[in-house]
Amino acid sequence: MKFFVDTADTADIRDLAATGLLDGVTTNPSLIHKSGRAFLEVVEEICGLVDGPVSAEVVALDHETMMKEAEVLRKIADNVCIKVPLTIDGLKTCKALTDEGTFVNVTLCFSANQALLAAKAGASFISPFVGRHDDNGFDGMALIQDIRLIYDNYGFDTEILVASVRHPIHVLESARIGADVMTAPPAVIRMLSKHVLTDKGLEGFAADWAKTGQSIL
């Protein structure tokens, strides 16, 4: 499973990229606002930190303006992936961009039917929001299972990019189901390395090593 990080904080991206874990980055207007930086500037910097896709989202709601915004965004770098909403205008934009060879991430997906539409429009990635789905009383991981089944039934190439990941269990269940990609905040990715027994083991080894009075350096 590919790991994307969901942030516009370049310090976090640089730190996680050094681990070799990152396969891409997702951003959205809220994350850009949180960064306090100019949109095009931060996307350009992110594209220089990772080799994989960097999702940059259009903010227009109509197809014509989405295409104009996409034209600006995809000139930033070769690894820019245009992010569009799952609306009829977004699907039109997806079709037009993918026909031109541009990677497209269709976002704000909350149903398997929506995911089916995105795949038929040629989306590179579909982003179902599992955390927000859970928040509203629905089973987010059941949605991923449904999308996986449908895509496998018909041989769609669209990659399932699990979004709105809130905790390590979302990551585990996504991997079990066979999602292609997950995107999570930096804190959640770091949490994946944590285990109480790992911490206890390190404490024990450190205490025993100190008793030897030795030093490797």
Q: Which active-site residues does the annotation give?
A: 83
Contact 110, 143 (CB under 8 A): yes
Structure tokens given for 143 = 């949605």
| Run of H or E residues at 72 | helix 63-73
Rounded to the nearest angstrom, the gap between the alpha carbon of residue 56 and the centroid of all alpha carbons in its chain is 11
Looking at residue 74, what DSSP letter applies?
Answer: T
Residues 6+ apart with CB under 8 A from 30: none
| Run of H or E residues at 159 | strand 159-162
Structure tokens given for 152 = 């496998």
Please identify which residue in the block is written with the tokens 């450190």: 206
Contact 38, 195 (CB under 8 A): no
Structure tokens given for 23 = 């396969």
